[in-house]
Amino acid sequence: MNPATALATVLVDELVRCGLTDVVMAPGSRSAPLALALHAESRVRLHVRIDERSASYLALGLARRSERPVALICSSGTAVANFHPAVIEASESGVPLLVLTADRPPELRGTGANQTIDQLKVFGPSARWFAEVGVPEERPGQVAYWRSLACRAYQRAVGPSDPGPVHLNLAFREPLIPDGDSSWVESLDGDASGPWVRTRVAPPPVALHLPPTRRGVLVVGDGAANVRRYVAAAGMAGWPVLSEPNGGGRYGDHAVSTYHFLLGTPSFADAHQPDVVVTLGRPGLSRSLLSWLRRAQEHIVVATDLSRWPDPTRSATQVAQAVEIPVAAGDDAWLHSWRRADAAARAAIDELLDSSGMSEPRIARDLADSLPNGALLFCGSSMPIRDLDQAMRPRRGLRLLANRGVSGIDGLVSTAMGAALAHNGPSYALLGDLTFLHDQNGLILGPREPRPDLCLVVVNNDGGGIFSLLPQAAIRDPFERVFGTPHGVDLGYVAAATGTPYRLVEDISDLPKAVRGEGLRIVEVRTDREPNAALHGQLRDAAQAAIREL
């Protein structure tokens, strides 16, 4: 057996023993040993994509939803560079990825050899761990090295306190395909009972105990862990819960879904300064919430890894791996005040949205309302997730995800597909038109590839709608070209080019029916950027007027 085939065979086997179930691969010559080993491995689900960037985001979606490491494989050269944006998102979001890049052997590097770049630590600080595996050789001890290395890589990707991407750079010399000889200097077999190296999970951290108080608030942002436990504790303590849609805590009687408007009303924000705020995950959608957090006297951030905690407002007074929220005696005046204001703002918002026709906030609200229990909704990182934050009502039974680690719009079609392939139930995505076009290659699926049950709802306002809500919109002359960026693309033709079922919805009442179905499909809804910007201002004014009337 040639060394390249031996290394690929052993590495794939050991990663499967560790728990690997999904692998995403882009085609290439130098990665042939890994490709052939994976094609022969029946214990993993293989996904092949022709575009490395789309492949990397597909792996990101799979790993984000499954919360398990997913292997991502490519050839050498710029193929590796195309993985970088997804690796950055995985790093900032804490998503476990195993990035396996094929490379030329050392004697070809720096010589101008074809498809050769410097791949050593190419992902920089975004990789939790990097290893240059070395050119495989037929000598005793290699199998133990390869298998122990695979175990270390898998476990470092998992975390457990700081999951993220791990990069193994694999230099292969030719021959790159099996030579028909199965002999090797030592046994290639792994441990009969499981992984080569077994790791033990550390005991749960000791929780920080808070003094009992009724005037507390729980804030839940993206990437929060143990959300249900903290929401239940906040409920017992009489605290309101301010959860972003993708935080996973917007449900139940204590959920305050209009906090963006409440905290944007100075009189309410001034009158509702808490004794303590506990933050889970990374809040970042609402400027009014972030401004309010800056004024908190006691702000406790819960972070599983104490070397990396989110604190964009620089207002954290304590950071803990776990917090104990005790049951507090007293009346419910604090909670009732939040809930009364929330109900008033919600009534004003819903009344305005009900008369707004095909508006973007209404599309977000009605879509979230209409999806069945057990569904997954993947949200675009720009306006869709913000529209959900401001318009979505509390509900149970809906899983929401978004790429909010660095909040890019790249690769989101593929991320949604990966999340759908890992989800046990119907899946949907709410994306903007620029986001959709940015990753239209994600629609390209080979005839033998696993296909997701995913409806892509694309809100098409012919450009970058979020910029119409920013100060740039006042600079009329250059705005449309350098910020609005209209494209004029007919999305129906994009769908037709890949044979993806497509439907245009022209009346908002038809949306719940249009998204029904199975398999991969596209539903387009068209809106106008200027009326949308005006509606956001009207929502703010209506909600704040209702709050002040209290």
pLDDT at 262 over 90: yes
Q: Three-state SS across 7-48?
A: HHHHHHHHHHHHCCCEEEECCCCCCHHHHHHHHCCCCCEEEE
| 419 contacts 376 by C-beta, under 8 angstroms | yes
The C-alpha atoms of residue 62 and residue 522 are separated, in whole angstroms, by 20
Cα 83 from Cα 486, distance rounded (Å): 28
Q: What is the pTM of this model?
A: 0.96
Tokens describing residue 260: 């963006």
Summary mean pLDDT of the chain: 95
pLDDT of residue 470: 84
246: pLDDT strictly greater than 90: yes
107/117 Cα distance (integer angstroms): 13
Sign of CA dihedral 484, 489, 492, 495: negative
Taking residues 35-54, report their average pLDDT.
97
- Cβ atoms of 265 and 544 closer than 8 Å: yes
State how far the Cα of 121 lies from the Cα of 392, in Å rounded to an integer. Answer: 42
The lowest-confidence range among 92-106, 185-199, 353-367, 410-424 is 185-199
Tracing tokens 């318009």 back to the chain, one arrives at: 391
Characterize the bridge pairing of strands 299-302 and 276-280.
parallel
pLDDT for 209-239, tens place per residue?
999 999 999 999 999 999 999 999 999 999 9
Query: Which of these ranges, 41-50, 121-130, 463-472, has the smallest mean pLDDT?
Result: 463-472
Output the pLDDT for position 161. Answer: 86
Nearest to 319 by CA among 277, 285, 284: 277
Tens digits of per-residue pLDDT, 278-296?
Answer: 999 999 999 999 999 999 9
Judge whether 372 and 249 are in contact, CB under 8 Å: no
Quick one: average pLDDT of 313-320? 96
Confidence of residue 473 (pLDDT cuts 50, 70, 90): confident
Segment 379-398 mean pLDDT: 97
pLDDT at res. 50: 96
The yes-or-no verdict on residue 182 having pLDDT over 80 is: yes
**Segment 380-393 mean pLDDT:** 96
At 441 the pLDDT is 96
Whether 451 contacts 520, CB under 8 Å:
yes
In whole angstroms, give the CA distance from residue 97 to residue 69. 5
Q: Check residue 423 and give its pLDDT.
A: 98
Amino acid in the structure at residue 450: P
Q: Residue 242 above 90 pLDDT?
A: yes
- Report pLDDT for 374: 97
pLDDT of residue 468: 84
**Residue 205: pLDDT band by 50, 70, 90 thresholds?**
confident
Q: What is the pLDDT of residue 92?
A: 96
Task: Provide the edge-to-edge strand list for the sheet that holds 299-302.
Answer: 241-243, 216-220, 276-280, 299-302, 318-320
Residue showing tokens 């590796």: 80
Closest listed residue to residue 429, CA positions, set 379, 381, 393? 379
What confidence score (pLDDT) does residue 17 get?
97
pLDDT on residue 59: 98
Higher pLDDT residue, 178 or 477?
178
Mean pLDDT over 422-448 rounds to: 97
Q: What is each CA distance from 131 to 10, 87, 146, 158, 247, in whole angstroms?
A: 17, 16, 11, 16, 33
Whole-Å CA distances, 211 to 57, 333, 339: 43, 19, 23
Q: What is the predicted pLDDT for the residue at 330?
A: 87
Pick left, alpha or beta for residue 357 (phi over 0 → left; psi -120 to 50 → alpha; otherwise beta): left
Is there a contact between 172 and 185 (Cβ–Cβ < 8 Å)? no
Establish whether the linkage from the previous residue to 452 is cis, with ω within 30° of 0.
no
Alpha-carbon gap, residue 429 to 367, rounded angstroms: 10
CA 76 to chain CA mean position, Å:
26
Whether 523 contacts 370, CB under 8 Å: no
Check: CB of residue 275 under 8 Å from CB of residue 303.
no
- Both structure tokens of 193: 């009972």
Q: How distant, in Å, are the alpha carbons of 78, 101, 207, 447 from that of 26?
A: 12, 10, 44, 15
The secondary structure of residue 209, as a DSSP letter, is: E
Q: What is the Cβ-side half-sphere exposure of residue 253, based on CA atoms within 13 angstroms?
A: 10
Distance CA 302, CA 309 (A): 8
Looking at the predicted structure, is the pLDDT value of residue 487 above 80? yes
Contact between residue 40 and residue 174 where contact means Cβ atoms under 8 Å apart: no
Two tokens at 23? 């692998």
> What pLDDT is recorded for position 476?
80
CB neighbourhood size of 351 (10 A): 12
**Is the model's pLDDT at 193 over the cut of 90?**
no
Phi–psi pair at 179, nearest 5 degrees: -105, 10
pLDDT score of 81: 97
Q: Can you tell me whether residue 137 is helix, strand or coil?
A: coil
C-beta of residue 464 within 8 angstroms of C-beta of residue 413:
no
Give DSSP secondary structure letters for 265-286: SHHHHHH---SEEEEESB--S-
Report pLDDT digits (tens) over 118-166. Answer: 999 999 999 999 999 999 999 999 999 999 999 999 999 998 889 999 9
